[in-house]
Amino acid sequence: MPTFWFIVIAFFWTGFFILEGFDLGVGALHMVVGKTDIERRVAINSIGPFWDGNEVWLIVAGAATFAAFPSWYATMFSAMYLALMLVIIALIIRGVSFEYRGKLVNPAWRRVWDWTLTVGSILLPVLIGVALGDLLHGLPINQSGNYTGSFVDLLTPYGLWVGLTLLILTLAHGAMYLSLKTTGAVMRRAERLAGPLAWAAALVVLGFAVWTHIQSERGVLPGPLEVIAVLLAVAAAWSIRDEHPGWGFAATTATIGVTVGSLFVALHPNVMVSSTNSAYNLTVANSAASNYALKVMTIVAVIFTPLVLAYQSWSYYVFRARVRGPSVEGPPAGTTPLRTVPGDGSRA
């Protein structure tokens, strides 16, 4: 049962990065693909119906960790307290940006919220990537499961590389999404960005694959999952080059899924490695909740997870239409209303 719940938590983290990944990428790129206020609204509206639902996966991943592996939760969240506060701040400024950006037509007002959306969207994959990478790299944890290091000790080289990898993957994922979800100038700029970002993703995933395999003490050559992640990233770049954005988006989706999944495969049977002494590692076995608690959680998960998946699938279907924007550079901000089609997201 503990191993099953480790897999479930890995599934939640993977789902978070797959779904939240593209809207983080859009948030980070919206000032690049949108040169005018109208074009930026097109980019933001493309994720309007989805971004808050996607963030639920992060909450569920944290809650599942708390319930299934309380010792892991206690050590990880106390060790990374300051970093997690930065994650919360990034989540807050992203959410506020979506809600407040359109309250005033004033260009300076909207520029402030454009920047907060961009910064928040960049910080999230980096910070969470560093945290996940630290689980495998190892942190100074004593026999009692207490963190004995400082904030600087969280900035491990491997953790920073995982953060960079997830950032570039989300940027490529977001560019692929925009090429599918928008029209006109925004779509064309996204298509031009998608190719270079996909090739950059292939390079950083290759580095991630080799480093992860070494970090998990399984040799230098990447394993099957890591090789598949690299090949998928290359496939995404080839797809956008051959003008197949749908295949490109599917490839970046799979790349993120396999990359995050391979990190948890390398971590098992540990859930958090101690750099002080391997005997102090937190494992699936020694940090799990009682068998009864895990059984109750399993029943709840079996009932509600399919419902959540069905609801999100339906929302993606309902809001499947492209958000239509100007085909050329638009007029100054606030002078022309944004054209949308039925089923598009809320106005920004």
264 closest CA partner among 2, 4, 14: 14
The share of the chain scoring above pLDDT 70, in percent, equals 92
Question: Cα(101)–Cα(116) distance, rounded to whole angstroms?
Answer: 10
pLDDT in tens, 119-157: 999 999 999 999 999 999 999 999 888 889 888 889 999
* Residue 13 three-state SS: helix
Ranking 178-192, 194-208, 230-244 by mean pLDDT, the lowest is: 230-244
Residue 221: pLDDT band (50, 70, 90) is low
Conformation bin of residue 334: beta by default, left when phi > 0, alpha when psi is -120 to 50: left
Question: Cα(128)–Cα(260) distance, rounded to whole angstroms?
Answer: 11
pTM, to two decimals? 0.88
Mean pLDDT of the chain: 87
Question: Cα(184)–Cα(253) distance, rounded to whole angstroms?
Answer: 24
Region 15-20 average pLDDT: 92
Query: Is the alpha carbon torsion for 344, 181, 164, 205 positive or negative?
Result: positive
CATH T-level topology, domain 2-318: Formate dehydrogenase/DMSO reductase fold (1.20.1630)
Region 161-177 average pLDDT: 95
Region 292-318 average pLDDT: 89
Q: What is the pLDDT of residue 51?
A: 87
Q: Could you tell me the CA-to-CA distances from 154 to 8, 135, 157, 323 in Å, in that order?
A: 25, 10, 9, 41
Q: End-to-end alpha-carbon separation of the chain, Å?
A: 45
* Residue 272 three-state SS: strand
Question: Cα(275)–Cα(157) distance, rounded to whole angstroms?
Answer: 14
Region 187-207 average pLDDT: 92
Q: What is the pLDDT of residue 139?
A: 92
Q: Is the pLDDT of residue 233 over 90?
A: no
Q: How many CA atoms lie within 13 A of 307 on its CB side?
A: 5
Q: What is the pLDDT of residue 239?
A: 85
Q: Is the pLDDT of residue 69 over 90?
A: yes
More confident residue, 298 or 338: 298
- Six token digits for residue 317: 């279907």
Region 261-274 average pLDDT: 91
Q: What is the pLDDT of residue 328?
A: 60
Question: Cα(173)–Cα(209) distance, rounded to whole angstroms?
Answer: 19
Q: What is the pLDDT of residue 219?
A: 59
Domain coordinates of the chain in residue numbers?
2-318
